[in-house]
Structures are given as structure tokens and as C-alpha cells.
Amino acid sequence: MKVLVPVKRVVDYNVKVRVKSDQTGVDIANVKMSMNPFDEIAVEEAIRLKEKGLATEVIAISCGPVACQETLRTAMAIGADRSILVQTDVELQPLAVAKILKSIAEKETPDLIILGKQAIDDDANQTGQMLAALLGWPQATFASKVEVADGFATVTREVDGGLEIIKIKLPAIITTDLRLNEPRYVTLPNIMKAKKKQLDNVTPESLGVDPAPRLSILKVTEPPARSAGIIVPDVAALVDKLKNEAKVV
Amino acid sequence: MSVLVIAEHDNAHVKSATLNVIAAALKINPEVHVLVAGAGAGLADVAAQIAACEGVKKVLLADAPSLADGLAENLAQQVLNMASGHSHILFPSTASGKNVAPRVAAMLDVAQISDIIAIEDADTFQRPIYAGNAIATVKSSDAVKVITVRTTAFDALANQGGSGVVESVSAVAAGILSNFVSRELATSDRPELAGARMVVSGGRGMGSAENFKVLNPLADKLGAALGASRAAVDAGYAPNDWQVGQTGKIVAPQLYVAVGISGAIQHLAGMKDSKVIVAINKDAEAPIFGVADYGLVADLFEAVPEITKQL
């Protein structure tokens, strides 16, 4: 069973981004970049399937500028066997990424594609579902447990108010939620090994995909700030404020 | 052209998120149609409840076993069958809406616009990015706009005063690729987190799942829903569906009480639109105090029972 894992290079989880003064976007120059945390969970899950003897090959894919190679090397240090960079400097939106991934999926014919449920930069939460639709495959989003057997995946999903279990026929799309697993730390020997693994370069055009964005971003602005509040000295003062000033209790 | 809203329900009751989405739809176009897709004896009642909502012109009722459990493959196909004649298709930004909307958009070969918080005109919308640290204004040139709506950004409409008609539509056949197995929903007398008027949330400072229970009497007294930070969920102190933040639920209650929560940006993303925020933390430097209306620097295990007593 071959598994594809798309990974996105995003501004690191711990960075608080600043909006550019000309309102064209956020300033990501000289900011620490990392693999999207949900994608890291996706890579980990694929590697665990391989370690259980269920997956035979894990292929990481990243779409974007040449720097995404770093993200692919990280995926290979976690354990991916090889990787593909779909290189472009065009601003990619989820539909374009889904079309690129569809084209790769048709060439690689995987049984499973595992993606993060959302990227922490654009917070779109779309690519996996779109890819499933384009391929005509079933999907199990927001997965917290995955079991693969006999050509099916049984997936526990995080839904509002609890959990849901569905059984989907492979080939299929799974998107990861927080509790699916805890990604391993990459070790130095594995980072060294990853440098020797195969990394292929393609472009959206060579895959026959027009990556042009469909949504135009008119401006990016700061959210309205909350005005600073006060520190109350004790519980009695807090209860008094809630009753008499805020009038919420 | 009209706006199509995809209702969220449990085959017996309308979920309140639906009313927020109808409110958003009415800002685009007064001609609002609502798709109720599901199965079972209670479904007609769901359709009737929605038809009675202010502003709803028509309810499309699709009743079949294929739609009973909200499987994405079947529901997306049903929505696609209904898409013609609609300029906008709106879903709530809930687990179910987020599961299905992108699938519909891809099948229509259009972009999907996630989590809108404001409507500037029929093509232009505002949405948060980077955990709400920036707001993007985006314009769509697609023929059909497929959108998920952040429900806390639009006040729910009255669920009365409407006189929509209910029209039965043919339902899709069940797909063979996916099957529903089971569902385990937490049963609780507390209000639903996403729509609650009061929320009491605990963070890593709670220390353990056992200690988390110190919040129960306070939540009981306030009639509040319980929430948690991602750190508390990661540590196993609270279930994942309590998670408030960028990757969990977005809440905007009248009162949000953050207990033992430091205030990571990912958590603030989920609660900073609350009307009144109270923070209780023993670390006076915790970032949560930067957004709190009232901060109390104290040991939570002493402060929380004391507040419960004094309220």
C-alpha cells in the first residue's frame, strides 16, 4: 500500500505574525518557517502504517517555492521514503493544490492520502475534502484514530459534541486531527539520511494544472484590538464588577 | 438567483448554528432557501421549524437513508443536485459544514471561502487568517460562491415569524464508498459550547483531569458550558470537543472565564470576541491578562470555589 502525504511550509506555530503596513498581507520575511503541525501528524501516521507493515512506501509532496524542500527533508527525516516538490512562486489556494495533488495521485496511484485537516496560516480546512471530490474518493476528515484492513479504513472522527466512526473504502482521503498521534522527534542520523533520499522537482504546468488563484485578496488588516482591562485585587471585587459593572451575572 | 443555506440538525432538532447562517444569507439576498437533508420521522418537523424562521422563503426537504448520518459523499452530491439557481451556498463553519463545503466547491470547480465573519457585498467577504491575527478581505469571481460562515459573527435570527414553503425534493442514492458505523456523543445537561451564553474554560494550570472538576460547581452556578485550552486537551485533562481556539471551537459568549489558561495566540483566536473575559491565573505575566476585562492573580483552587460561593 502506497501512501501520499502532502505537507505545507507555514509560519511556525509560535510566531505572532504582523500585518504589513500596506495591507497586502502579513510580513513573513525573516520569520521562522516550519511544517504545518497537522501535516506532521499526517506524516507520523503514514510512517506508523509503514512500521506496522501496512504501508509499503510513503511519499511526501509539497507545493510552493523552492524553500519547501526543507519541509520535504523534514518529512523524510521523520521517515518518508521519497518526496516530490511541485515548485511554483504563484500564491496557491486550496483548489489549485487539490488539482496538483490529483494529478500526482493519478500518476502514483496511492491507496491512501493523508493530509492535515487545516494549515495554520490560511486556516482554510479545504484541501483534503477538495482532493477527495476531484478524485471521486471517500473521505474521513478530522481523524483521531485510523485502522486499515482488507481494503477499508475505519476512522474515528472528531465531530461537534463527540466522536463518530465511519468505514471508507480505499483508495481514500484522511485528514488528521490533533489527537491522532504525537509526532516523533527527528534525530540527527535521520536528518542525515534524509539528505540522501530522492527529491523530485516538477511544476504545476508540467502536471497540466493552472495554479492561478481564484480569490483575490483585496487587503489584509489587523483585527480590532481588545482594550486592556483591569486587575482586580480579590474575589469579592471580581464578583462585584461582574454583577454591577459588566452586569453579566 | 437565491441563496441556499445547508441546515444543520440531528434529524429531530435544528442546530442553532443554522439560524446564524440564515442571518448571514439574508445580508446577501432576501431570497433565502434552506436545504434540510436527512432521514426519519422527525425530519418534517425540522423542515417546519426552519420554514417558520424569519426570512426563509423556501425549505427543500430531502429525506432518505443515504442522508441520515451526514456522510460527506452523499450530502455533497445532494447539495450539488440543488445548486442550480443559487448564487451562494452557505454552510455553518461546524465540523459538518467544514467536512462537506469544500467537496461541493471542488465539484463545482469554484473556490471555497472559509469562515467568513463579514459580508461587504455579494462577492466580497472578510475572513480571519493566522489564527485571527489578521483579517483578509477576499473577492470571488466564481459564478457560485461556496462559503462557510463563522456563526459567532452573525446574530441568530428569530425562529418564528417566517412563512416559508416546504418542498420535497428527490434525495440521492447512498454511495458505496463510505459507511457510517457509530457515533458517541457526550451527553450533558450543559449548554452546547459553540452557542453558550457563558463559558468556563480550564487550561494546563488545572493540573489534572481530576482537578478539572473544580470548575463544575462554577459552571453549574452560571449555567455555563465547559471549555478547555489545547494544552489542557493535549494533556488529557479535557475531551477534544471542549477545545476552544484556532483548531477547536470559536466561541463568543457574554461571559468567558479563563481559568489556569496562559493565553497562547491559538487559544485567544477562539475566544477574544467574547463580550466579557475574566482571567484567573497565578502568573501575573500570563498573556491572557492582556485580553481580559477582569484579571485575578490568584491560585485557582482557592479562587474558583470562592467565586462560586459569592455569586
Amino acid at A180: L
Question: Which set of grid coordinates corresponds to residue B200?
Answer: 468556563
| Closest-CA distance of chain B to residue A195, Å | 31
Asked if A125 and B127 touch (Cβ cutoff 8 Å), the reply is no
What confidence category does residue B228 fall into, taking pLDDT thresholds of 50, 70 and 90?
Answer: very high
Chain segment A42-89, per-residue pLDDT in tens: 999 999 999 999 999 999 999 999 999 999 999 999 999 999 999 999
d(CA B159, CA A84): 52
d(CA B170, CA B76): 14
The answer to whether A223 contacts B183, with C-beta atoms less than 8 Å apart, is: no
The answer to whether B136 contacts A137, with C-beta atoms less than 8 Å apart, is: no
Chain segment B251-278, per-residue pLDDT in tens: 999 999 999 999 999 999 999 999 999 9
The ipTM value here is 0.94
The answer to whether A178 contacts B275, with C-beta atoms less than 8 Å apart, is: no
Which 3 state secondary structure label does DSSP give A160?
coil
Mean pLDDT, residues A17-22: 95
Which 3 state secondary structure label does DSSP give B198?
strand
The answer to whether B102 contacts A218, with C-beta atoms less than 8 Å apart, is: no
Tell me which chain B residues have a C-beta less than 8 angstroms from the C-beta of A177.
240
The answer to whether B266 contacts A134, with C-beta atoms less than 8 Å apart, is: no
Cα(first)–Cα(last) distance of chain A, in Å? 58
Mutation site for A-interface testing, chosen from B138, B242, B282 by largest number of A Cβ within 10 Å? B138
- A133, A144, A242 ranked by CB distance to B106: nearest: A133
Nearest C-alpha neighbor of A38 from the set A130, A120, A113, A112: A120
Nearest C-alpha neighbor of B106 from the set A99, A112, A18, A207: A99
Output the CA–CA distances (angstroms, integers) from residue A16 to A124, A220, B134, B251, B269, in the order listed.
18, 15, 10, 21, 12
d(CA B267, CA B271): 7
| Closest-CA distance of chain B to residue A74, Å | 22
Which 3 state secondary structure label does DSSP give A169?
strand
- A19, A158, A249 ranked by CB distance to B241: nearest: A158
> Residue A134: pLDDT above 80?
yes
**H or E element that contains B28:** helix B17-28
pTM beyond 0.90, yes or no: yes
Question: Which set of grid coordinates corresponds to residue B140?
Answer: 470571488
| Order of strands across the sheet that contains B134-140 | A215-221, B134-140, B124-129, B118-121
The answer to whether A172 contacts B177, with C-beta atoms less than 8 Å apart, is: yes
Question: Which set of grid coordinates corresponds to residue A9?
Answer: 511550509
